Amino acid sequence: MQYGPAAFNTAKVILMLRFLLKRLGLAALVALTVSLISFSLLFLAGDPAVALAGEAATEEDIEAIRTQYGFDRPIPVQYVAWLTGAFTGDFGNSYYFNTPVIDLISDRLPTTMQLGLAGITFALLLAVPLGVIAAIRPNSLIDRFALFISVVGQAMPTFWFSLILIVIFAVNMGWVPVSGSGTWQHFILPTIVLGYFATPGIMRLTRAGMLEVLRADYIRTARAKGLNPAKVLFKHALRNAAIPVVGLAAVQLGFMLGGSIVIESIFALNGAGLLAFESINRNDFPVVQALILLFSLIYVLLTLLADLLNAWLDPRIRVA
Amino acid sequence: MTIIDSNEITTAPSPAQQMRRRALRHWGFLIGGGVLGLIILMAVLAPFFAPHDPYAQDLSQRFLRPVFLGGSWEHPLGTDHLGRDYLSRLLFGAQISLTIGFVTALISGVIGTTLGVAAGYFGGRVDTIVMFIITVRLSMPVVLVALAVVALFGGSLTTVVLVLGFLLWDQFAVVMRTSTQQIRNQDYVTSAQALGCTTTRIILTEVMPNILNNLIVIITLEMAHAIILEAALSFLGLGVQPPLPSWGLMIAEGKDMLFFEPFLITIPGIALFVLIFAINLLGDGVRDVTAPENRN
């Protein structure tokens, strides 16, 4: 038996692989279930052909729509056809534009992705430093300020916060455009709103994690050794406290992408969220189904990546 | 002979007394509970308090300003785009928000607690299945699914409550599962099992009372969550429908006058903020008062 770095690394890789396979299997199963749910949402309220035909439709109109969109096939057959299409990126055609759903989405998704990434960056830049300082100096002025920000953030409805920011910074100050998505300035207010929404959770977790880590024996040892306090803080403490924060940030990013629908609607930001809102109002079911599935898949993928990253950083998770 | 000093016994406070004492010293708990109680009182007594009929339109009295912006006491908070009294609409709107909060928390609480307690108590395969259901639920985008379902069924108070109730149970399940896991191997649960108590009885009389405080905290969180989501759905036009005075709907109706009469969105927005803030304070307070060791 060989002990040492090489043996340790092989063991680590095997454990990681096993963990990876298990998590991948779970993610695939979740994705499949979500696809079933997003498909059946359409049939939840009864016959989609009736809903599409509108209130003035005759029995013949409904029958025509039923055959045109393939609703006359058994539902399991429709699901399998939809799912196999989805695997190749084919979600059918939009009822409203009569163009492929995937084209509509791929036009709009980059905007939402940019908004989501900008939002989570804003949240991390605000929440992590505040959380760390709040943990180093509990009950200080900054700790109270951090608490205030997080309490206010949790009670502030995002759509109302957006309107208030528009009144102050777009109308009264004239610093940023009111709405639209032409330039990077259009992203400033939506980023702040979306990022602020994720701030309280990340800040609380950073603070709690740092408080716990700072009490740990290895920090006391590092300090007792006479290490530079800044080095102890950033290299030893923050690195360990960051593990759960990375996971939460990934989850929050998933929530933010799914929740961008409200913010994009208010700021008329031309992303996938606005597309979802418009499609819901147009009864454009294929687009809505595809977007629900897509946002869910992004979330599944993000949590998968976060879990893998955590397992790589924290050996205790791999074994479980 | 030992003499037991009766004073000594009575001076040691019981856990309930200690809790009451902590509650009376906890400002967040008192303020949150007080403000929430006040809002509930105003909502219940809205028919008596409201100066006007919240639905009565008067097109000659549109966009009157609140009294603090130079308006008259006839309409203390002004009037909206149809000349309806804003204070009366605000008071009746509290009924909608509170109904949404309570009923949603009840539905999602029953679903989530059942799943969470079952997973935590039985463990094993039950736990695996419940965890899977929770993961699936968490991966679905709440706002998008809620909007889509409300659009399919048609917006109404009932639809919104049902949709939110069936969507917002995840935190109940997660927290109740962990809480149950923590106490299921306690001695009192083991002895109840050894005595041959039925599972139902153990869960109801041994498990539930000991996870009740966590349950109350999640109830407050999810009430707040549901109230915010209802306002957002109504704001987007896919929630409670006009002419009902939902606060989210009032903000949506005032949005067109955003640049000229910002009070139309500020007033219902502040009302929402205060309600959510009070509920959150109360929730944090309940956690601190019932389990002070969990405070960080």
Q: What residue ranges do the domains of chain A occupy?
A: 6-87, 110-318
The answer to whether position B31 is within a domain reads yes
> Other C-beta atoms within 10 Å of A219: how many?
17
**A155–B273 CB contact, under 8 Å:** yes
Whole-number pLDDT of residue B2? 54
Q: Which of B39, B128, B134, B140 to mutate to test the interface with A (most CBs of A within 10 A)?
A: B140
Which positions in chain B touch A45 (Cβ < 8 Å)? 149, 152-153
**C-alpha–C-alpha distance, residues B235 and A266, integer Å:** 10
> Other C-beta atoms within 10 Å of B104: how many?
27
**Cα distance from B164 to chain A (closest Cα, Å)?**
15
Q: Which domain holds residue B74?
A: 20-289
Sign of CA dihedral A29, A34, A40, A44: positive
**B152–A44 CB contact, under 8 Å:** yes
Phi then psi dihedrals of residue B79, to 5 deg: -135, 160
pLDDT tens digits, one per residue of B192-250: 988 988 888 999 988 898 898 889 999 999 999 999 999 999 999 998 998 999 999 99
Residue B15 has pLDDT above 80, yes or no: no
**B265–A259 CB contact, under 8 Å:** no
Position with higher pLDDT, A185 vs B119? B119
Domain at B280, CATH number: 1.10.3720.10
What mean pLDDT, rounded, does chain B reach? 88
The mean pLDDT value for A265-286 works out to: 90
Count how many domains chain B has: 1
The answer to whether position B1 is within a domain reads no
Whole-number pLDDT of residue A1? 42
**B152–A159 CB contact, under 8 Å:** no
Helices (H), B123-207: 124-139, 142-153, 157-167, 170-183, 187-194, 199-202
Which positions in chain A touch B255 (Cβ < 8 Å)? 163
Residue A312 has pLDDT above 80, yes or no: no
CA atoms within 13 A on the CB side of B113: 21
CATH number of A110-318: 1.10.3720.10
Residue A2 has pLDDT above 50, yes or no: no
Which positions in chain B touch A277 (Cβ < 8 Å)? 147, 236
Q: CA–CA distance from B42 to each of B97, B275, B276 (Å)? A: 12, 12, 16
The mean pLDDT value for B180-187 works out to: 89
**C-alpha–C-alpha distance, residues A72 and B43, integer Å:** 49
Which positions in chain B touch A44 (Cβ < 8 Å)? 149, 152-153
Radius of gyration over every alpha carbon of chain B, rounded to an integer in angstroms: 24
**B266–A164 CB contact, under 8 Å:** yes
The answer to whether position B6 is within a domain reads no
Q: What is the torsion angle, in degrees rounded to the nearest 10, for the CA atoms of residue A112, residue A115, residue A118 and residue A121? A: -70
The answer to whether position B81 is within a domain reads yes
**C-alpha–C-alpha distance, residues A104 and A284, integer Å:** 12
pLDDT tens digits, one per residue of B122-171: 999 999 999 999 999 999 999 999 999 998 888 899 999 999 999 999 99
Which positions in chain B touch A156 (Cβ < 8 Å)? 273, 276
The ipTM is 0.85
The mean pLDDT value for B24-46 works out to: 91
**C-alpha–C-alpha distance, residues A205 and A41, integer Å:** 35
The answer to whether position B155 is within a domain reads yes
Contacts across the A-B interface (CB distance below 8 Å): 128
**C-alpha–C-alpha distance, residues A251 and A205, integer Å:** 13
Which positions in chain B touch A26 (Cβ < 8 Å)? 132, 135
Nearest CB to A277: which of B138, B147, B265?
Answer: B147
**A259–B141 CB contact, under 8 Å:** yes
Q: Helix, strand, coil shares of chain A as percentages rounded to 5?
A: 80, 0, 20
* CA-wise closest residue to B265 among B252, B275, B276: B252
Tokens representing A252?
């929050």
Contact A257, A303 (CB under 8 A): no
Contact B283, B220 (CB under 8 A): yes
Which positions in chain B touch A276 (Cβ < 8 Å)? 144, 147
The answer to whether position B182 is within a domain reads yes
Whole-number pLDDT of residue A75? 83
**A164–B151 CB contact, under 8 Å:** no
* CA-wise closest residue to B268 among B87, B35, B58: B87
